[in-house]
Amino acid sequence: MSAQGTILVLDGVSTNRIMLKVQLTAAWYHVAQGEKLSGLRTQLRRVQPDLVLTALTLPDGTAADVKKLMQSDPAFRDVPVVAIAAHNDKAARLRALSEGLDDVLGFPVSDTFLLARVRSLLRARSEAQDLQGKKGIQPFGFAEASAPVLAPARMGRIAVLAQSARQGTVWRKALAERTGRTVESHTLPNPSGVLSGSAPDAIVVELSPDPQGLNMLADLKSRIGARRTAVIGIIPDENTTLAADALDRGADAVCLGGFCATELALRIDALMARRAHEDHMRAALWRGLEESLIDPLTGLNNRRYALSALDRMMTRATRKGQSFAIMLADLDHFKSINDRYGHSVGDQVLVEAAKRMRRAFGNEGFLARIGGEEFLFALPDADHRTARAKAERICQLMAASPFVMPTIPTRLTVTVSVGLKLCEPPFQCLGEDGCTAPELVNCADRALYAAKKAGRNQFRLSAA
Residue 259 placed within a domain: yes
Domains identified in the chain, total number: 3
The pLDDT-based confidence of 427 (bands split at 50, 70, 90) is low
pLDDT tens digits for range 275-300: 888 888 878 777 777 778 899 999 99
What is the CATH number for 9?
A: 3.40.50.2300
Q: Is the pLDDT of residue 432 over 50?
A: no
Looking at the structure, tell me whether residues 348 and 242 fall in a common domain.
Answer: no
Looking at the structure, tell me whether residues 100 and 231 fall in a common domain.
Answer: no
Q: What is the pLDDT of residue 140?
A: 41
pLDDT tens digits for range 83-132: 999 887 899 999 999 999 999 999 989 999 999 999 999 998 888 777 76
Residue 127 placed within a domain: no
* Domain extent at residue 23: 1-109
| Cα angle 439, 442, 443; round to 5 | 95
Q: What is the pLDDT of residue 428?
A: 55
What is the CATH number for 419?
A: 3.30.70.270
Q: Considering the entire predicted model, what is its pTM?
A: 0.71
Looking at the structure, tell me whether residues 159 and 78 fall in a common domain.
Answer: no
What's the whole-number mean pLDDT along residues 70-94? 92
Looking at the structure, tell me whether residues 346 and 368 fall in a common domain.
Answer: yes
Looking at the structure, tell me whether residues 307 and 453 fall in a common domain.
Answer: yes
Q: What is the pLDDT of residue 81?
A: 97
Looking at the structure, tell me whether residues 265 and 309 fall in a common domain.
Answer: no
Looking at the structure, tell me whether residues 314 and 173 fall in a common domain.
Answer: no
Looking at the structure, tell me whether residues 277 and 334 fall in a common domain.
Answer: no
Looking at the structure, tell me whether residues 89 and 148 fall in a common domain.
Answer: no
Q: What is the pLDDT of residue 321?
A: 87
Residue 120 placed within a domain: no
Last residue of a domain, one of 248, 273, 292: 292
Residue 130 placed within a domain: no
Long-range contacts of residues 58-65, Cβ cutoff 8 Å, at least 24 apart: 58/10, 58/11, 58/12, 59/12, 59/35, 60/36, 61/36, 61/37, 63/96, 63/99, 63/101, 64/96, 64/99, 64/100, 64/101, 65/37
Chain-wide mean pLDDT for the chain?
Answer: 88
Looking at the structure, tell me whether residues 257 and 373 fall in a common domain.
Answer: no
Residue 388 placed within a domain: yes
Residue 415 placed within a domain: yes
CA distances from 8 to 22, 29, 66, 100, 129 (A): 13, 10, 12, 18, 19
The pLDDT-based confidence of 136 (bands split at 50, 70, 90) is very low
* Range in 12-21, 154-163, 217-226 with the lowest mean pLDDT: 217-226
Looking at the structure, tell me whether residues 434 and 317 fall in a common domain.
Answer: yes
What's the whole-number mean pLDDT along residues 245-263? 95
Q: What is the pLDDT of residue 434?
A: 52
Looking at the structure, tell me whether residues 277 and 367 fall in a common domain.
Answer: no
pLDDT tens digits for range 318-357: 888 889 999 999 999 999 999 999 999 999 999 999 999 9
How large a percentage of the chain has pLDDT more than 70? Answer: 92
